[in-house]
Amino acid sequence: MPLYRDFSDHNATILLWKYDEKEELDPKTLLEEENYEKVKDYHPTKLKELLLVRKILKSILPEHKILYNGREPYLEPRDFEISITHSFPFAALAVSKNKVGIDIEPFHDKIIRIRHKFLNDDEAGFIEESKETAYLTVIWSLKESLYKIHHSNYWSLKKHYEVKPFSLDFPYNIVCRVHDDKVSDLYKARVEFFENYCLTIVD
């Protein structure tokens, strides 16, 4: 079994799996019939990520399906909320009675080139220069997790998603905010580190 880490808490079951070449990922067994057409042109790696998520689901809710409303995944039957993330060779699934958002990101210096697209001035002010890549990656990932909970086609990660100051030395109880002229919702988040990746969890 490729279970890599269990990040579950009192709010959600959160399982992280890592692909193993010995692992059997049979689309006929794991994939829902409703999604056959959706994945027919998927790259082999992307298909493995999708099937890994199904394998995680089978381990906890074997009778459930993951279906899609546009690009947004949901469980059928709809008795739990879910969030999905993957960055090969890793895939993770969160299942909760409440809204939950998770995201995996690898640490890579290329994120510095796009910081202007998602980082606001307040966030730039608490980044430690010697750890810029790590902070930027975590902030990006936190906003991706927030987006999965609370999203709009009219919002931008830079203007409408905010991460309050935090330290990489204790990345727990991080306060995040989603806001516009009518909405201002606060959330708590945490970050987990493994290999050269981070997993952010908003629940």
Please give the chain's pLDDT, 203 residues, in tens: 589 999 999 999 999 999 998 888 999 999 999 999 999 999 999 999 999 999 999 999 999 999 999 889 999 999 999 999 999 999 999 999 999 999 999 999 999 999 999 999 999 999 999 999 999 999 999 999 999 999 887 799 999 999 999 999 999 999 999 998 888 999 999 999 999 999 999 98
Residue 199 vs residues 4, 67, 113, 152, 162: alpha-carbon distances, Å: 13, 23, 21, 23, 18
Taking only Cα atoms into account, the Rg of the chain, rounded to an integer number of angstroms, comes to: 17
pLDDT of the residue at 185: 94
Residue 119 vs residues 16, 70, 142: alpha-carbon distances, Å: 27, 27, 12
Q: What is the DSSP string of 171-193?
A: --SEEEEEE-SS-EEEEEEEEEE
pTM: 0.95
